[in-house]
Amino acid sequence: MRILICGVGALGSTAAWFCRNLDAELAFVDFDKVESKNVMAQCFVKASIGKNKAEALKAQMLTFFGVKCEAFSVKLAETNVEQLCGRADLIVDAFDNIASRMVLSAYAKKTGKALVHAAVSGDGTFGIVRWDEHFAPDAEDAAGQATCEGGEHLPLIGVLGSSIARVIQDFAKDGTKRDVMISLRDVRTTA
Amino acid sequence: MAVLNITYNGMSADYPLDVQVALSDVDVKRIAVEVVRAGGLRGLQVPNLPDNAFDNFVIDRFDRGERIYLRPKVPFGSLSCDCECECES
């Protein structure tokens, strides 16, 4: 099984960390670079600062765990979605922008690819993992609303990242598709 | 009987809704404010909860309306990513 994690910031990199023992081929897409503040909220080490996030995560997975992954240091768009996602059996949307999420959703609907979305509330108290079959993006209260700050939401991100990994694990095992909601109090299966 | 799950300030709790009619989003939010204020939810009591506490919340309905979730938005990013942190979720 090939799993493509799209966006390896706080959620994507944390989920990838917990997917390291899966019997699966992992691949990452992210055009962004690791900044010094990212090491406080995302699974990157100081040595990765300045490197592309997808490439840095790939290098870390190999260095720390001996897990070989593939990295694409590009911005996902309609023009390259087939090239990036075509070989994936599961696509994980951990992007931070609705445009890229909608590109993935449209592609999944068109091709029948399995796609799961993950997102965290702006105040870091709540998160969702939801399959594309039930996906509808929430409207923003304000344009450009930030969904993460420099490590402030790290505990919730940890729970959410591991929940994403569990959802991936269940799907990889027998095709089960679970939706979950995560609060500071509980992790709840909703579908 | 429908079950209303309310998530607020990182806490989450269920409340059985003993009503036979379909509730609008406005109804659900009003009930939620009253229940949370009154302490009808274990671990989730805010006596001074403002009337508009759930105005920007989202309501998800599952199982033909038998399970209702009132939750904070999880903003799926901006149309062009220009947030200050410049990081992917």
Predicted complex ipTM exceeds 0.85: no
Q: Which of B1, B2, B20, B19 is nearest to B59 (CA)?
A: B2
Cβ atoms B30, B37 nearer than 8 A: no
The pLDDT tens digits for A10-32 are: 999 999 999 999 999 999 999 99
Q: Which of A8, A23, A10 is nearest to A171 (CA)?
A: A23
Residues 54-93 of A with CB under 8 A from B: none
Select the residue of A98, A126, A150 nearest B78 (Cβ to Cβ): A98
The pLDDT tens digits for A108-143 are: 999 999 999 999 888 888 999 999 999 888 876 665
The pLDDT tens digits for A87-111 are: 999 999 999 888 899 999 999 999 9
Q: Which tokens belong to A139?
A: 């409207």
pLDDT of the residue at B83: 39
pLDDT of the residue at B88: 44
Written as tens digits, the pLDDT of chain B (89 aa) is 899 999 998 888 999 988 878 889 999 999 999 999 998 888 888 999 999 999 999 999 988 888 999 999 887 654 433 333 333 43
pLDDT of the residue at A140: 67
Q: Does A189 touch chain B (CB under 8 A)?
A: no
Q: Does A182 touch chain B (CB under 8 A)?
A: no
**CB atoms B12 and A10 under 8 Å:** no
pLDDT of the residue at A2: 98
**CB atoms B12 and A185 under 8 Å:** yes
Cβ atoms B69, A190 nearer than 8 A: yes
CB-CB neighbors (< 8 A) of A9 in chain B: 87-89
Q: Which of B13, B16, B15 is nearest to B1 (CA)?
A: B16
φ, ψ at A187 (rounded to 5°): -115, 120
By CB atoms closer than 10 A (0-12, 13-18, 19+), residue A73 is middle
What number is the average pLDDT over the span A182-187?
83
Report the share of chain A in percent with pLDDT over 70: 94
Asked if pLDDT for residue A189 goes beyond 90, the answer is: no
Q: Which residues of A94-111 are buried (b: 16+ CB within 10 A; e: fewer)?
A: bbbbbbbbbbbbebbeee
pLDDT of the residue at A149: 54
pLDDT of the residue at B1: 81
Cβ atoms B15, B40 nearer than 8 A: yes
Give the position of tokens 């979950």. Answer: A180
